[in-house]
């Protein structure tokens, strides 16, 4: 499997696995590869890597700061070779065909397949039962399997292990270790910890109960920074942990490699030469294992010893790794549950459906009074949506609409400080002028409409590259006039909205518009007279609810120079 590596050849390197098919790269949360870039040299959707059998290509997605391969800017798609340096904005990434760990896993998988392919032995006529054992967990208390008479680290078992297991027989020790791990799994899954800190303390309590260690720490990856952060520490009573005691080099090494590590003398280990934390903390022996619930390392579990070299045995490292697996699953389950609770809270808040601009005004004023104001209303619908949705699976339709609305609303409507009033199936309804009214509301609305048509062209290109049968067209209608704006609904479920004939006319104009068209009313057209935009005056049209035909104008948006007025932010236009 191919990879892209950020911060390559350092202990801070981050490895991104490339899946078969499309892999988008950018700052936006919708990408498969999300790059943290505070300088914003990386676009929201910057580039795309396409993995095909035997070959990998990279495509620039119209980014502002371009994409480079080995220093050369790519115009179209470029094939990647092992070791190529891909620069996305200001961030360099290294492309590799496969990592050493992946190669080892592939070899292991191949061996399993060969074993599975071997013919099974012929079955006997009667099945001979050697031993039968119930699958329910044994109820023997974990304490019955452990020693409690070890006073210090020198009181190791006959095997040289720091595990506090009573039995010295090797076969029975294996059984006892499995029994202890089963008990650990039960204890970590039983009940629900109030917070992450209490769960981590429980893990360290179990660690000190089972193993004779001097100091230990749990470090977890901060999702925002990508760095390891200490979340829980523990030490024997006579050992000082007033300051950071673990080696940053050791924990980063394990996090990046994903391998468990045992060092008998950290001070002389060549992998950690000149590590000040090792020298200052007088670390003699250390063990560090990754916390990896499935594929991704979410943190590390670290233990060390200050007094003895060769304090730990291979058996200790193996058991600590197994214990860390149980801990990682418990931590991951807790974090997933926390995210689900947060998402439920967000959904409950979104029931009132306050867009960003309205939320800001609520924070400033504490409420929204009903007012009369002038707005420019915009309706946008997908042309031929009924026919399109009839030939696609429902799940694919929803995924397509989510991608489409992400661009149209979050990247365009909110960018031009419009208020989203509602989603109307495949359509959207937005206004400019409520709750904030600006002298340039009409101009912002028309530029949002232009951006929508241009953004859809780019979105169609991306879907075509991805091999998806999605080529959309939209039609847009705008109208300017007076409305009443305020909170509408019951006490428990309210929505900020506008009411007035202005909205009705905008909706009717949108219905008249054809695919790829932007139509505006006469009132909107008058507000754009000084913008030098190319319009075509159409014959008055009869719309539902009006006795007389209304005058409409078609904006020739494909003839517009992509230069928005000076007061508008050009960041979206420049990226199209």
Residue whose token pair is 């080529």: 471
| Residue 565, CA distances (Å) to 285, 303, 329, 345, 489 in order | 66, 61, 54, 40, 38
Q: If phi over 0 gives left and psi between -120 and 50 gives alpha, with beta otherwise, what is residue 83?
A: left
What CA–CA distance (Å, rounded) separates 259 from 238?
Answer: 31
What CA–CA distance (Å, rounded) separates 196 from 219?
Answer: 12
Apex 286 CA angle, 284 and 289, nearest 5: 170
**CA torsion, ordered 93, 83, 3, 41, to nearest 10 deg:** 10
**CA torsion, ordered 18, 22, 23, 29, to nearest 10 deg:** -140
Check residue 15 and give its pLDDT: 82
Facing residues of 427 across strands? 424
- Collapsing DSSP to helix, strand or coil, 445 comes out as helix
Q: Which long-range contacts (CB under 8 A, 24 or more apart) does 402-406 make?
A: 403/30, 403/459, 404/456, 404/459, 404/472, 406/30
Q: Which long-range contacts (CB under 8 A, 24 or more apart) does 75-83 make?
A: 77/50, 79/55, 80/2, 80/49, 80/56
Pair of tokens at residue 509:
């104009």
What CA–CA distance (Å, rounded) separates 312 from 287?
Answer: 8
State the pairing for strand pair 55-60/47-52: antiparallel
- Collapsing DSSP to helix, strand or coil, 29 comes out as coil
C-alpha gyration radius of the chain = 32
What CA–CA distance (Å, rounded) separates 27 from 282?
Answer: 42
Check residue 97 and give its pLDDT: 82
Check residue 172 and give its pLDDT: 79
Helix, strand, coil shares of the chain, percent, nearest 5, are 35, 25, 40
* pLDDT per residue as tens, the chain (576 positions): 788 988 887 756 788 888 888 999 988 888 889 988 877 889 889 999 999 888 999 999 988 889 999 999 998 789 999 889 999 988 999 998 875 444 444 544 555 555 555 554 444 344 444 444 343 334 445 666 776 554 444 455 555 678 888 777 778 778 888 878 888 888 887 656 668 888 899 899 888 888 888 889 999 998 888 899 989 998 887 776 656 788 888 899 999 999 999 987 644 444 544 444 444 445 568 899 999 988 889 999 999 887 666 678 888 899 899 999 999 998 988 888 777 766 555 444 444 345 555 555 555 565 567 889 999 999 999 999 988 888 888 888 998 999 999 999 988 998 898 988 888 889 999 999 988 889 999 999 999 999 999 999 999 999 999 888 889 999 999 999 999 998 777 655 567 789 999 999 999 999 999 999 999 999 999 999 888 899 999 999 999 888 899 999 999 998 887 655 655 543 333 333
Apex 511 CA angle, 508 and 516, nearest 5: 135
Apex 336 CA angle, 333 and 341, nearest 5: 125
pTM of the model: 0.43
Q: If phi over 0 gives left and psi between -120 and 50 gives alpha, with beta otherwise, what is residue 283?
A: beta
- Label residues 545-571 b or e (16+ Cβ within 10 Å = b): eeeeebebbbbebeebeeebeeebeee
- Collapsing DSSP to helix, strand or coil, 572 comes out as helix
Closest to 465 (Cα-Cα) out of 75, 42, 76, 93: 76
Check residue 38 and give its pLDDT: 75
What CA–CA distance (Å, rounded) separates 146 from 157?
Answer: 11
What CA–CA distance (Å, rounded) separates 301 from 254?
Answer: 10
Asked if 135 and 51 count as a contact pair (C-beta separation under 8 A), the reply is no
- Collapsing DSSP to helix, strand or coil, 506 comes out as helix
What CA–CA distance (Å, rounded) separates 480 from 501?
Answer: 10
- Label residues 231-257 b or e (16+ Cβ within 10 Å = b): bbbbbeeeeebeeebbbbbbbbbbbbb
């Amino acid at each position: 499997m191919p990879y892209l590596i950020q911060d390559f050849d350092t202990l801070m390197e981050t490895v991104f696995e490339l899946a078969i098919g499309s892999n988008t790269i950018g700052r936006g949360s919708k990408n498969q590869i999300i790059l943290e870039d505070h300088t914003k040299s990386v676009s929201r959707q910057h580039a795309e890597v396409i993995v095909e059998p035997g070959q990998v290509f990279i495509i620039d997605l119209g980014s502002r700061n371009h994409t480079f391969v080995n220093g050369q800017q790519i115009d179209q798609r470029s094939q990647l070779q092992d070791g190529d340096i891909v620069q996305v904005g200001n961030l360099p990434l290294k492309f590799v065909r496969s990592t050493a760990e992946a190669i080892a896993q592939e070899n292991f998988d191949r061996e399993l397949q060969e074993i599975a392919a071997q013919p099974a032995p012929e079955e006997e006529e009667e099945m001979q039962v050697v031993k039968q054992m119930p699958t329910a967990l044994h109820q023997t208390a974990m304490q019955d399997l452990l020693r409690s008479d070890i006073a210090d680290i020198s009181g190791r078992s006959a095997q040289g292990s720091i595990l506090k297991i009573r039995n010295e027989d090797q076969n029975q020790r294996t059984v006892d270790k499995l029994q202890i791990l089963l008990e650990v799994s039960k204890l970590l899954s039983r009940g629900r910890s109030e917070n992450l800190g209490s769960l981590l303390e429980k893990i360290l309590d179990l660690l000190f109960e089972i193993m004779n260690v001097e100091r230990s720490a749990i470090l977890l990856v901060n999702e925002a920074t990508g760095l390891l952060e200490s979340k829980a520490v523990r030490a024997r009573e006579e050992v000082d942990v007033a300051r950071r005691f673990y080696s940053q080099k050791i924990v980063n090494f394990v996090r990046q490699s994903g391998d468990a590590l045992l060092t008998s003398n950290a001070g002389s280990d060549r992998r950690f030469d000149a590590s000040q934390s090792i020298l200052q903390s007088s670390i003699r022996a250390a063990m560090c294992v990754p916390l990896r619930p499935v594929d991704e390392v979410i943190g590390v579990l670290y233990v060390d010893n200050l007094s003895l070299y060769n304090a730990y045995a291979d058996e200790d490292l193996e058991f600590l790794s197994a214990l860390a697996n149980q801990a990682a699953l418990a931590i991951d389950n807790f974090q997933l549950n926390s995210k689900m609770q947060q998402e439920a809270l967000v959904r409950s808040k979104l029931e009132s459906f306050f867009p960003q601009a309205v939320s800001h005004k609520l924070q400033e004023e504490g409420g929204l009074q009903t007012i009369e104001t002038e707005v420019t209303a915009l309706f946008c619908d997908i042309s031929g949506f009924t026919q399109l949705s009839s030939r696609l699976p429902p799940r694919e339709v929803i995924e397509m609409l989510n991608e489409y609305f992400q661009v149209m609303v979050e990247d365009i409507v909110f960018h031009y400080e419009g208020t989203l009033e509602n989603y109307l199936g495949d359509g959207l309804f937005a206004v400019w002028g409520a709750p904030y009214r600006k002298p340039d509301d009409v101009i912002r609305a028309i530029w949002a409409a232009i951006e929508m048509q241009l953004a859809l062209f780019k979105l169609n290109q991306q879907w075509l590259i991805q091999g998806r049968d999605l080529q959309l067209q939209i039609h847009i209608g705008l109208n300017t006039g007076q409305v009443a704006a305020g909170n509408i609904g019951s006490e428990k479920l309210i929505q900020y909205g506008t009411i007035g004939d202005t909205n009705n006319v905008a909706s009717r104009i949108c219905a008249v518009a054809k695919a790829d068209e932007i139509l505006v009313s006469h009132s909107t057209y008058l507000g754009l007279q000084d913008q030098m935009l190319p319009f075509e005056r159409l014959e008055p049209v009869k719309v539902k609810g009006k006795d007389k035909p209304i005058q409409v104008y078609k904006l020739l948006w494909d003839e517009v120079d992509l230069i928005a007025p000076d007061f508008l932010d050009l960041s979206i236009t420049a990226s199209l």
